Amino acid sequence: MDDAPALVVRGGYADWRRQALHALAAGWPPDAITWTEQANDAAGQMTLDHAAAEAGVAEPAPSHGAVPQVRISKDLAELLRDAALFRSSRRWAFLYRVLWRWQQGDRAVASAADEDGAQLNRMAKAVRRAKHDMIAYVRFHRRDGDAVPEYLSWYEPDHDVLAYAAGHFAKRMGTSSWCIGTPQGAALWDGRALHLTGTPPDADTMRAGARRDQIEPLWLVYYKSIFNPARLNETALQQRMPVRFWKGLPEGPLIPGMIAEARNGARRVGQTGTVGEMRGKPIAMDAGAAQPVRAAPTSLDQCRRCELWRHATQAVAGEGPDAARLMVIGEQPGDQEDLAGRAFAGPAGQVLDEALRRAGVPRDSLYLTNAVKHFKWIARGTRRMHKTPAQREVEACSHWLNQELSRVRPAVIVTLGATALNAVLGRGASLQQTLHQPVRVGDAWLLATWHPSYALRLQDDQARDDVRKAIADTLAQGWQLARSEETAAAGAVFDAGAKAIR
Ligand code: URA
């Protein structure tokens, strides 16, 4: 065996590789060699390909004849190239030990189960992470005027990944000139070629030059605006963007404040706002099944059985004596009823009052209520326009109508319009088929007629008068039935939605 020398690595992986192959060829075991490294101070020019090779993108071509060859697996080659960028004074000796063992036929050296293999994998992994971080966290700042290079950046990588990242940016930033300064050296792209130097530029000058540009304030406003405190996951943030990088990022100084705000309530407010803005989608299904199991509200004012309470001024309860023999049921409060808190207080109420007069029925002797107790409306300009309640809303409100029916036990029910009819007989009852003919519901009679608003909508005078008369006739018939001896007996307990008995 020749005398084992002290080997000096001056040019990174390529230089180590050339010397290591010679050492293997000479049969020098790892313990016999001292490896040291010397920073390559001289400013050098690299082509892009060269930078990429330094970065591990391509294997440097061996100098034919002069360098002996050793066949290694592709995986091991990649591990060696990455681990060579791990910043440690012992890296070259370690890599040579790995290569030596491989050449001796000891394939376990590339495995993570082997002590050296595990160390090699750890080093390569740390370097890959550092490469990723540098690509992700380098920020270029445009310099004022015609200054060259046009862009500056300062970055402090964990390992020797400057050449790799510089190769990456050179491929992507076209002919714009830039310089990345690090504590270990700098990379300068003049628009055509990459220059790498092991001499660190003056950090303060670089940092000052790389600090602010015209775009930065815009970026900061944008960064703040896209930050959603409700979605902040601090653990994930610190894993993906470790705190040590914040100082190099223009947005870095904002982050602690934004985290503090999120912790102190902005997260909850953000969440509430987003959830509140969701419009939701009504799902057609049986209202009973859709109701969560909960105690029934004891007061109509607190009713949340459907969504109508949200936009109504108040719930409008029925009114009249509990001993009333006649119950008249409308659809739902209108605009004026919603404000006044009384059923049939507006224009439809005037039509009803007139019909009651014609029928000779004193309003205060009957029980007057609605199938739905909250006003459902849509906005038209500044007006609230009536909107017919959905069946699920009618069913949700049947809780209150059932209570009224059970309490009052009317002998006769007059329903005004289709909604009221459906509320008592159940979905699908036909107003046309039920009009003006008494229907037995439990122990009571039900008489169906038009809704007073229908008369208000009709343009034709004759048709309007016919409807008004039909309503009055039905009320008179109901009043008569209610007072007859036959129906004066105590009423049955009703259940809105019960099947009609003809
Ligand atoms: N229409 C109804 O059905 N009920 C009222 O209370 C008012 C208008």
Q: What DSSP assignment string belongs to 428-467?
A: T--HHHHBTS-EEETTEEEEEE--HHHHHH---HHHHHHH
For a mutational test of ligand 1's pocket, the pick from 308, 314, 329, 332, i.e. the residue with the most ligand atoms closer than 8 A to its C-beta, is 332
The residue assigned the tokens 């049947």 is 398
* Average pLDDT for 344-356: 97
Assess if residue 294 is contained within a domain: no
> Amino acid identity of 71?
R
Q: Which atom in ligand 1 lies closest to the alpha carbon of residue 417?
A: 3
For position 490, what pLDDT does the model report?
38
Strand order through the sheet with 412-416? 367-370, 326-330, 412-416, 444-449, 439-441
Residue 65 scores a pLDDT above 70: no
User: Are residue 242 and residue 117 in the same domain, yes or no?
Assistant: no
Residue 153 scores a pLDDT above 80: yes
User: Are residue 336 and residue 229 in the same domain, yes or no?
Assistant: no
User: Are residue 335 and residue 365 in the same domain, yes or no?
Assistant: yes
Distance 347 CA to ligand 1 centre (A): 9
Q: How confident is the model at residue 346 (pLDDT cuts 50, 70, 90)?
A: very high
Q: How confident is the model at residue 56 (pLDDT cuts 50, 70, 90)?
A: very low
For position 62, what pLDDT does the model report?
44
Distance 316 CA to ligand 1 centre (A): 10
Calpha distance 107→84 (Å, rounded): 19
pTM: predicted TM-score of the whole model, two decimal places: 0.48
* Average pLDDT for 358-368: 96
* Average pLDDT for 41-69: 44
The mean predicted confidence, pLDDT, of the chain is: 84
User: Are residue 447 and residue 310 in the same domain, yes or no?
Assistant: yes
How would you classify the pairing of strands 367-370 and 377-380? unpaired
Residue 64 scores a pLDDT above 80: no
Q: How confident is the model at residue 215 (pLDDT cuts 50, 70, 90)?
A: low
User: Are residue 86 and residue 207 in the same domain, yes or no?
Assistant: no
Higher-confidence residue: 409 or 280? 409
Distance 369 CA to ligand 1 centre (A): 8
Higher-confidence residue: 216 or 424? 424
Q: Which two tokens mark 124? A: 């390569």
CB 133 within 8 A of CB 103: no
Distance 408 CA to ligand 1 centre (A): 20
| Residue range(s) defining the domain that contains residue 367 | 304-489
User: Are residue 328 and residue 380 in the same domain, yes or no?
Assistant: yes
Pocket residues: Cβ below 6 A from ligand 1 = 330-334, 337, 343-344, 346, 348, 370, 453
For position 285, what pLDDT does the model report?
62
User: Are residue 443 and residue 310 in the same domain, yes or no?
Assistant: yes
User: Are residue 430 and residue 461 in the same domain, yes or no?
Assistant: yes
User: Are residue 117 and residue 157 in the same domain, yes or no?
Assistant: no
Alpha helices in 7-149 (DSSP H): 12-26, 48-54, 74-83, 91-103, 115-137
Assess if residue 49 is contained within a domain: no
Q: Which atom in ligand 1 lies closest to the alpha carbon of residue 420?
A: 3
Distance 421 CA to ligand 1 centre (A): 14
Calpha distance 14→262 (Å, rounded): 49
Q: Which atom in ligand 1 lies closest to the alpha carbon of residue 452?
A: 1
Choose one of 214, 243, 271: the last residue of a domain: 214
Assess if residue 154 is contained within a domain: yes
For position 501, what pLDDT does the model report?
36
Distance 266 CA to ligand 1 centre (A): 44
Q: Which atom in ligand 1 lies closest to the alpha carbon of residue 331?
A: 3
The structural domain count of the chain equals 4
User: Are residue 165 and residue 207 in the same domain, yes or no?
Assistant: yes
Q: Which atom in ligand 1 lies closest to the alpha carbon of residue 419?
A: 3
DSSP bridge partners of 182: 185
User: Are residue 355 and residue 484 in the same domain, yes or no?
Assistant: yes
Calpha distance 118→33 (Å, rounded): 23
